[in-house]
Amino acid sequence: MLNRHARGFFTALFTPLARWLLRMGVSPDAVTVIGTAGVVVGALVFFPLGQLFWGTLFITAFIFSDVLDGIMARMQDVKSRWGNFLDSTLDRIADGALFAGLAIWFFTGGADIPIAVAAMLCLVLGMVVSYARAKAESLGFTANVGIAERAERLVSVLVVTGLTGLGLPPVVLLATLVLLALASFITVVQRVLSVRRQAQAEPSPAD
C-alpha cells in the first residue's frame, strides 16, 4: 500500500540526485551495495549500543537507496535480472540486520526480553514473507498479496524505534513489533492460500 502511494513522491524527490549520480559514473548496483552497507552498520553498530535514535537517523540516510537505485536503472532504461536479484538479496540482509540489531540490544543492555523476542519474530516472519513470494514466482505462480509489505514494515519499525530512543515508552515499540509480526504472519497465510488457489485451478496432467 505504502509503496504504491509514495512511489510518485519519492521518485520526484530523488530524480535530481539519481541524475547527478549517473553523470558522475555511479551505477545503480553501487548505490544498492552502499545503501545496504549503511543500513547494516547503523543497525548492528548503533542499535546494540542502545543508540536507537541516532541509529535510526543513520539508517534513514541510507534506506532510500532502494528507491534511488530503481530510479537510476529506469533512467538508463536498463532491465537487469542481475540488478533485480542483487537488490532483492541485499534487501533481505538489510531487513535482517535491522531486527537483529534491535534484538541484540534488548537481549543485553536494553534488558527487555519481550521486545527482543518480538524483534526476532519479525525477522523470521519477514524473511518468510519474502521467501513465499520468491518461491511462488519461481514456480510460475504469483504471490504479491498481503497486508505487510516491506515498506510498511520498515517505516513502522524505524519511526517507533527512533521515538523510543527519544523517550517513548518501550511498550509502544513492543506493541508495534507484535502487530508487525502478526501482520507478517497473516501475509504469509495470504500468500500460501493465494498460491494454493492458483495450483488448484491448474489443469491436471490427465486433462
Taking the model in full, what pTM does it have?
0.86
What whole-number distance in Å separates Cα of residue 206 and Cα of residue 114? Answer: 52
66: annotated binding-site residue? yes
**Averaged over 91-116, what is the pLDDT?**
95
Instruction: Quote the mean pLDDT of the chain.
Output: 88
153: annotated binding-site residue? no
87: annotated binding-site residue? yes
Which of 2-11, 40-49, 165-174, 181-190 is predicted with the least confidence, judged by mean pLDDT? 2-11
Q: What share of the chain is helix, strand, coil (3-state, %, to 5)?
A: 80, 0, 20
Check: CB of residue 186 under 8 Å from CB of residue 146: yes
Question: Active site includes 207?
Answer: no
Count the Cβ atoms, other than its own, within 10 Å of residue 135: 13
109 exposed, middle or buried (CB, 10 Å; 0-12, 13-18, 19+)?
exposed
133: annotated binding-site residue? no
pLDDT band (50, 70, 90) for residue 157: very high
pLDDT at 76: 80
What whole-number distance in Å separates Cα of residue 121 and Cα of residue 174? Answer: 12
Q: Which residue has the higher pLDDT, 80 or 61?
A: 61
Q: Which residue has the higher pLDDT, 173 or 17?
A: 173
95: annotated binding-site residue? no
φ, ψ of residue 50 to 5 degrees: the values are: 85, 5
pLDDT band (50, 70, 90) for residue 141: very high
pLDDT band (50, 70, 90) for residue 11: confident
| Whether pLDDT at 10 is above 80 | no
User: Where do the domains of the chain lie, and which CATH numbers do they carry?
Assistant: 1-199 (1.20.120.1760)
Buried b (16+ CB within 10 A) or exposed e, 154-187: bebbbebbbbbbeebebeebbebbbebbebbeeb
74: annotated binding-site residue? yes
pLDDT in tens, 16-43: 888 898 888 888 889 889 999 999 999 9
pLDDT at 207: 53
Count the Cβ atoms, other than its own, within 10 Å of residue 86: 17
**Annotated catalytic residue, options 77, 91, 112, 207:** 91
pLDDT in tens, 47-61: 999 999 999 999 998
